């Protein structure tokens, strides 16, 4: 990890705002990178690991915890923003239907000029599911660059992980907007976090 990487992630990082609707999005003044993925895949936990804070993004055992687009400023003044997105693929959300979520996410992803890359998180125990494939296809057709990140690797055996990595690489090669590499992470054990930081900074600079 370079000195600049260390500096930016150990410097000021703060919650900016939640946007339940598109009209509440912050002004698009700095680059953004977004974390997307099925409910409970570990988006909020991975953001916390990335910025080395315990509870900046609110993680929870209950799927559907994050229900809005949450924006975090990295740097003061902000150099870039991290966006924690509501999870997809979960039908029992108390305040929003899956369809409403889909519209929110779809509109944000398509319309956001400062959005540099989406990090699409995949639970390493499950691999790419149909709903992930749908999201990836949506990103392909919107020409939004994204990178696949395997999560919760502390929960599976090394041999199983190797098989999931191979399978995931084969699948992502068929998607035009997918970055041709994988991030392999554990928020719990802090695995792959420094590589992920480098991937985030590379995306911000792209
Ligand atoms: N063992 C293990 N558990 C994890 C890891 N990352 C997240 N979890 C757990 O998985 C659950 C869901 O994590 P969240 O970070 O809230 O998931 P999310 O994707 O933000 O979920 P939504 O906001 O509901 O879409 C929590 O109980 C976390 O503690 C990991 O790397 N390893
Ligand atoms: Mg969350």
Q: Is 65 in the pocket of ligand 1 (CB under 6 A)?
A: yes
Q: Is 39 in the pocket of ligand 1 (CB under 6 A)?
A: yes
Q: Report whether 171 contacts 179 (CB < 8 A).
A: no
3-state secondary structure at position 35: strand
Q: Any idea which residue has 């992980």 for tokens?
A: 161
Q: Is 42 in the pocket of ligand 1 (CB under 6 A)?
A: yes
User: What is the best residue among 35, 42, 47 to mutate for testing ligand 1's pocket, by most ligand atoms within 8 Å of CB?
Assistant: 42
**Closest listed ligand to the CA of 40:** 1
Looking from the CA of 38 toward its CB, the CA atoms found within 13 Å total: 19
Please check the confidence at residue 20 and state whether its pLDDT lies above 70.
Answer: yes
Element (H, E) at 190: none
Q: Any idea which residue has 């979960």 for tokens?
A: 90
pLDDT band, very low/low/confident/very high, at 34 (cuts 50, 70, 90):
very high
Q: Is 89 in the pocket of ligand 1 (CB under 6 A)?
A: no
* Cα(50) to centroid(ligand 1), Å: 14
Q: Is 125 in the pocket of ligand 1 (CB under 6 A)?
A: no
Domain boundaries, the chain: 3-205
ipTM greater than cut 0.85: yes
Q: Supply the angle between the helices 130-141 and 98-111 in degrees, to the nearest 10.
A: 30
* Residue 130: CB atoms within 10 Å: 8
> What is the per-residue pLDDT for 6?
65
Q: Token pair for residue 140?
A: 């392909």
Q: Report whether 102 contacts 88 (CB < 8 A).
A: yes
Atom number in ligand 1 closest to CA 185: 31
Atom number in ligand 1 closest to CA 86: 25
- Is CATH 2.60.40.420 correct for 3-205? no
Q: What is the pLDDT of residues 76-98, one digit of tens each?
A: 999 999 999 888 877 655 445 55
* Cα(47) to centroid(ligand 2), Å: 9
Burial 107-128 (b: 16+ CB within 10 A, else e): ebbeebeebbbbbbbbbbeeeb
Q: What is the pLDDT of residues 158-190, one digit of tens each?
A: 999 999 999 999 999 999 999 999 999 999 999
Q: Which residues contact 152 (CB under 8 A, 6 or more apart)?
A: 41, 42, 123, 124, 125, 186, 187, 188
Q: Which residue's CA is the nearest one to ligand 1's atom 12? A: 40
* Cα(66) to centroid(ligand 2), Å: 4
pTM here is 0.93
């Amino acid at each position: 990890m370079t000195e600049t990487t260390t500096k930016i992630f150990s410097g000021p990082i703060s919650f900016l705002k939640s946007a339940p609707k598109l009209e509440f999005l912050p002004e698009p003044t700095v680059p953004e990178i977004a974390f997307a993925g099925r409910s409970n895949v570990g988006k909020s936990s991975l953001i916390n690991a990335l910025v080395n804070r315990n509870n900046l993004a609110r993680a929870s055992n209950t799927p559907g915890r994050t229900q809005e687009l949450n924006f975090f400023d990295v740097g003061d003044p902000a150099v870039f923003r991290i966006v924690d997105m509501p999870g997809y693929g979960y039908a029992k959300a108390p305040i929003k239907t899956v369809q409403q979520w889909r519209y929110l996410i779809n509109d944000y992803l398509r319309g956001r000029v400062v959005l540099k890359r989406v990090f699409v998180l995949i639970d390493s125990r499950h691999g790419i599911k149909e709903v992930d494939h749908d999201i990836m296809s949506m990103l392909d057709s919107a020409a939004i660059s994204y990178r696949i990140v395997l999560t919760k690797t502390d929960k599976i055996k090394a041999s199983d992980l190797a098989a999931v990595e191979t399978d995931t690489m084969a699948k992502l090669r068929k998607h035009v907007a997918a970055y041709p590499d994988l991030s392999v992470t554990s928020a719990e054990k802090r695995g792959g976090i420094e590589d992920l930081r480098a991937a985030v900074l590379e995306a911000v600079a792209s």
